[in-house]
């Protein structure tokens, strides 16, 4: 097919002028839009009213379909469950026997821990839960990893609050609408979480890689503290995230960095709890009179 | 028979349909990012952009060049990208395609696909760059599956546009 050789629609001055104006509008508008991008990079909170309105309007659509999707996933699990019923039963029995032994040990350790804490006069600061809500969707084609939570400013959700599921950390609130909010997922390229290794307490940073995995970097230069299978939990350094929430499991060690998978998989998590930002208690000031 | 019952009202409805169908089709494609899925990797092709490209390559005279601004605005509000990303990139794409049309001598399905593939790759890379990822831990390689999927699915969008086009034009 040959393209239309001549884009001029005819000899009408009015139509030619209209075409010309169209180009002018497009170029000026395109430049303005580039300006908008720059503006939203310099000031991420700008246009939040517009964006949260769109979020509120679109969230019910997403929420309605979510139960169907999880239903389909459940069907698949039920069917595969039948095929592996026998072997799975045996495995689970063995695992439960092991777990029961660990549970008894844990109970005595917990009692001992409480006793020691009382002796040392350690005070726990838990951050209060704001709301429990469903995780209904995420950005699909954008390079950002942003989830959508079915709770917003009306439920007390504010930007900056940590979002936690039963299995571990999901991320934190980025922007809120009235009835829905956007979550910066752990795997987003701009998410950074201070953590420590459960095995030896070494401090590290977890950063998202945008492809479903996270990168774990040690804070000690030259150290190689990671092993495959290690679990990292939040360390509460810098506030926001409460301590000892499971974050990721290390699957691959590359020198002083490691690659891990988040323990809470946002694809299958249904409910998540939004908490108040954790604020560590200030140490008693020595200069105070 | 349909031809015998053409009235002024049905003519008016048809005229509205001619203008509205491509715009609505593109906006509906943009709403694909509202699907109730939680994805840990960016795998879904940019549906709105694919639809825009398909319409533009199928019917070069259909839209004025500024149409990328309102359509891109809708896409930006739904996609989670910084506001202005689709607005500027879609307009830029339409301008470049217009420029290209004045140089190209011959076009067929394969050349359209090639052009669309180049546009998709540049669009996804620019989207990544616009969302402020330089210096972060995210690997560009994570975008390659999305690019491949978008390029392979593009002919399907052209098919959809052709179907809609036949329905849109009454005769």
Assess whether A134 and A119 both reside in one domain: no
Q: Do B132 and A27 touch (CB under 8 A)?
A: no
- From the CA of A267, how many Å to the nearest CA of chain B? 5
Confirm whether A120 is domain-assigned: yes
Model confidence at A200: pLDDT above 50: yes
Q: Is A223 exposed, middle or buried (0-12, 13-18, 19+ CB in 10 A)?
A: exposed
The per-residue pLDDT for range B57-84, each reduced to its tens digit, is: 998 888 888 999 999 999 988 887 788 8
Which of A25, A33, A142 is facing B84, going by the closest CB pair? A33
Assess whether A101 and A140 both reside in one domain: no
B101 touches chain A (CB under 8 A): yes
Confidence of residue A7 (pLDDT cuts 50, 70, 90): low
Residue after which a domain boundary falls, among A70, A98, A124: A124
The per-residue pLDDT for range A169-193, each reduced to its tens digit, is: 999 998 888 888 889 898 888 888 9
How much helix, strand and coil, in percent to the nearest 5, is found in chain A? 35, 25, 40
Assess whether A226 and A252 both reside in one domain: yes
Per-residue tokens: B69: 């601004």
Phi (first) and psi of residue A265, to 5 degrees: -85, 110
Which of B41, B91, B127 is facing A211, going by the closest CB pair? B41
**What average pLDDT does range B99-120 have in this prediction?**
88
Assess whether A234 and A99 both reside in one domain: no
Q: CB contacts < 8 Å between A and B, how many?
A: 201
**What average pLDDT does range B156-162 have in this prediction?**
93
Q: How many residues does chain A have?
A: 289
The residue segments making up the domain with residue A100 are 84-124
Burial A115-153 (b: 16+ CB within 10 A, else e): eeeeeeeeeeeebeebbebbbbbbbbbbbbbbbbbbbbb
Q: Do A146 and B34 touch (CB under 8 A)?
A: no
Beta strands in B46-145 (DSSP E): none
Residues of chain B contacting residue A187, judged by C-beta atoms under 8 Å apart: 40
The per-residue pLDDT for range A67-104, each reduced to its tens digit, is: 677 667 667 677 777 777 888 888 999 999 999 999 99
Q: Euclidean distance between the first and final Cα of chain B, in Å?
A: 13
Which of A34, A141, A267 is facing B42, going by the closest CB pair? A141
| Sequence-ordered list of residues with C-beta below 8 angstroms from that of A277, at least 6 positions apart, any chain | A127, A160, A161, A162, A239, A240
Confirm whether A156 is domain-assigned: yes
Residues of chain B contacting residue A66, judged by C-beta atoms under 8 Å apart: 36
The per-residue pLDDT for range A129-167, each reduced to its tens digit, is: 888 988 888 887 777 888 888 888 888 998 889 999 988
The 10 Å Cβ neighbour count of residue A9 is 12
**What average pLDDT does range B24-52 have in this prediction?**
86
Q: Do A212 and B136 touch (CB under 8 A)?
A: no
Residues of chain A contacting residue B43, judged by C-beta atoms under 8 Å apart: 140
Assess whether A231 and A164 both reside in one domain: yes
Residues of chain A contacting residue B98, judged by C-beta atoms under 8 Å apart: 7
How far apart CA A19 and CA A3 sit, in angstroms, is 18
Which of A36, A58, A69 is facing B83, going by the closest CB pair? A36
Per-residue tokens: A144: 């950002």
Residues of chain B contacting residue A143, judged by C-beta atoms under 8 Å apart: 42, 124, 127-128, 131, 133, 138, 143
Assess whether A115 and A182 both reside in one domain: no
Assess whether A97 and A207 both reside in one domain: no
| Sequence-ordered list of residues with C-beta below 8 angstroms from that of A148, at least 6 positions apart, any chain | A55, A59, A62, A135, A136, A137, A138, A180, A181, A182, A183
Asked if residues A134 and A150 have their Cβ atoms less than 8 Å apart, the reply is yes
For chain A, give the mean pLDDT.
Answer: 82
Residues 27-66 of B with CB under 8 A from A: 31-47, 60-61, 64-66
- What is the domain partition of chain B in residue ranges? 3-168
Asked if residues B90 and B71 have their Cβ atoms less than 8 Å apart, the reply is yes
**Percentage with pLDDT > 70 across chain B:** 91
How far apart CA A119 and CA A113 sit, in angstroms, is 10
**The CATH number of the domain where A217 resides is what?**
2.40.10.340
Token pair 């699915």 is at which residue?
A: B153
Domains: count for chain A: 2
**What average pLDDT does range B16-25 have in this prediction?**
89
Assess whether A180 and A260 both reside in one domain: yes
| Residue (of B40, B3, B161) closest to A267 by Cα position | B40
Per-residue tokens: A54: 């769109």
Residue after which a domain boundary falls, among A108, A124, A140: A124
**What average pLDDT does range B84-102 have in this prediction?**
90
The 10 Å Cβ neighbour count of residue A87 is 9
How far apart CA A4 and CA A286 sit, in angstroms, is 82
Integer-rounded Cα Rg, in Å, for chain B is 18
pLDDT for residue B116: 94
Confirm whether A69 is domain-assigned: no
Assess whether A119 and A227 both reside in one domain: no
pLDDT for residue B61: 84
- From the CA of A96, how many Å to the nearest CA of chain B? 31
Assess whether A106 and A177 both reside in one domain: no
Confirm whether A239 is domain-assigned: yes
Assess whether A158 and A271 both reside in one domain: yes
How far apart CA B53 and CA B24 sit, in angstroms, is 14
- From the CA of A20, how many Å to the nearest CA of chain B? 10
Confirm whether A113 is domain-assigned: yes
How far apart CA A27 and CA B166 sit, in angstroms, is 32
Angle at B130 between CA A27 and CA A42, to 5 degrees: 95
Q: Do A142 and B127 touch (CB under 8 A)?
A: yes
Model confidence at B45: pLDDT above 70: yes
Assess whether A187 and A238 both reside in one domain: yes
The per-residue pLDDT for range A50-73, each reduced to its tens digit, is: 777 888 887 777 777 776 776 676
Asked if residues B86 and B72 have their Cβ atoms less than 8 Å apart, the reply is yes
């Amino acid at each position: 097919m040959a393209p239309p050789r001549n884009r001029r629609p005819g000899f009408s001055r009015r139509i030619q002028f209209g075409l010309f104006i169209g180009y002018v509008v497009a170029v000026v508008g395109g430049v303005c839009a580039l300006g908008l991008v720059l503006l939203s990079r310099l000031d991420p909170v700008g246009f939040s009213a517009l964006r949260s309105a769109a979020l509120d309007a679109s969230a019910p659509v997403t929420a309605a379909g979510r139960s169907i999707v999880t239903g389909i996933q459940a069907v698949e699990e039920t069917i595969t469950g039948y095929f592996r019923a026998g072997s799975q039963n045996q495995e689970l029995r063995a695992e439960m026997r092991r777990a029961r032994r660990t549970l008894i040990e844990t109970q005595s350790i917990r009692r001992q821990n409480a006793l020691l804490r009382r002796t040392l006069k350690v005070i726990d600061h838990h951050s209060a839960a704001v709301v429990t809500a469903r995780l209904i969707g995420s950005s699909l084609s954008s390079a950002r990893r942003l989830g959508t939570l079915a709770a917003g400013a009306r439920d007390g959700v504010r930007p900056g609050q940590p979002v936690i599921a039963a299995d571990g950390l999901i991320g934190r609130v980025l922007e809120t609408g009235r009835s829905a909010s956007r979550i910066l997922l752990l795997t987003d390229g701009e998410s950074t979480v201070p953590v420590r290794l459960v095995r030896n307490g070494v401090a590290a940073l977890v950063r998202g890689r945008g492809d479903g995995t996270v990168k774990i970097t040690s804070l000690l230069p030259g150290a190689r503290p990671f092993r495959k299978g290690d679990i990292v939990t939040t360390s509460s350094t810098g506030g926001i995230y409460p301590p000892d929430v499971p974050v990721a499991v290390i699957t691959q060690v590359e020198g002083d960095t490691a690659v891990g998978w988040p323990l809470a998989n946002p694809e299958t998590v249904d409910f998540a709890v939004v908490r108040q930002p954790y604020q560590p208690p200030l140490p008693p000031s020595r200069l105070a009179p | 028979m349909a031809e015998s019952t053409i009235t002024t009202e049905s003519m008016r409805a048809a005229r509205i349909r001619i203008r509205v169908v491509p715009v609505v089709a593109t906006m509906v494609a943009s709403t694909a990012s509202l699907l109730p899925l939680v994805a840990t990797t960016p795998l879904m092709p940019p549906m709105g952009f694919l639809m825009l490209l398909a319409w533009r390559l199928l019917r070069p005279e259909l839209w004025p060049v500024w149409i990328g601004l309102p359509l891109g605005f809708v896409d930006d509000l739904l996609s989670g990208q910084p506001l202005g990303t689709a607005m500027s990139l879609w307009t830029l794409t339409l301008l470049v395609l217009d420029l290209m049309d004045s140089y190209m001598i011959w076009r067929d399905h394969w050349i359209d696909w090639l052009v669309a593939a180049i546009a998709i790759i540049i669009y996804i890379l620019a989207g990544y760059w616009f969302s402020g990822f330089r210096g972060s831990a995210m690997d560009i390689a994570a975008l390659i599956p999305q690019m491949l999927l978008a390029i392979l699915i593009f002919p399907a969008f052209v098919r959809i546009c052709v179907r809609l086009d036949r329905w849109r034009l009454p005769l």
